[in-house]
Amino acid sequence: MKGIVFTDFLELVEEKYGLEMVDNIISQSELNSGGAYTSIGTYDFSEMLQLISNLSLNTSVSVDDLLMVFAEHFFNTLIKSHPNLVEHYKNPMDLLASIENHIHFEVQKIYMDAQLPTFELIEHKDDKLVMIYKSDKALYILGKGLMEQVFKLFGEHAIIEYEKLKEDGTEVKFTIARVV
């Protein structure tokens, strides 16, 4: 997993819970990196699982709720750093429909060894999208949160539902209905 995810996550933890919490979750985890991350580095996904699980234990906030908060923070970081990824889209549906063929393609140029989920576009209408998310990391809740942020970026609203196609969350069907 790319270091930018780790650095942004720890920045969020510091902003919301303080530096002591950052130190706590790092010391409670068994991290090969020692908890020292750079945005361009690549780190084992198990480290992120440990950090977010320990944050959940320390705050009594569910991992899913933490992922939704992180999605907002991470989306804002990406948009500030790489506004060109979204600036030519006129609406959220077209942006989301282009995740696989444009957004992830551009992200791979920036972070060459990034391990991104795949999104198979099943249906694309002006008011509805159906996509299949696939990732061995099962971070579909983070994906849902990022989708919500796309709608906020455009000042629009949507109902985003998901159905696990595999119980472990590695394959999930998203149905996104634009609310007009």
In degrees and rounded to multiples of 5, residue 162 shows phi and psi of -140, 155
Confidence of residue 114 (pLDDT cuts 50, 70, 90): confident
Straight-line distance from the first to the last Cα atom of the chain, in angstroms, rounded to the nearest whole number: 36
Contacts of 23 (CB under 8 A, 6+ apart): none
Has residue 136 got a pLDDT over 80? yes
How far is Cα 30 from Cα 47, in angstroms, rounded to an integer? 8
Q: How many CA atoms lie within 13 A of 37 on its CB side?
A: 23
- For 28-74, the pLDDT digits (tens) are 999 999 999 998 899 999 999 999 999 999 999 999 999 999 999 99
- For 156-175, the pLDDT digits (tens) are 999 999 999 999 999 999 99
Has residue 108 got a pLDDT over 80? no
* Number of Cβ within a 10 Å radius of residue 179: 9
> In which residue are the tokens 């992120």 written?
48
Q: Which pTM does this prediction carry? A: 0.92
Has residue 92 got a pLDDT over 90? yes
Question: What is the structure's pLDDT at 67?
Answer: 97
Question: What is the structure's pLDDT at 133?
Answer: 97
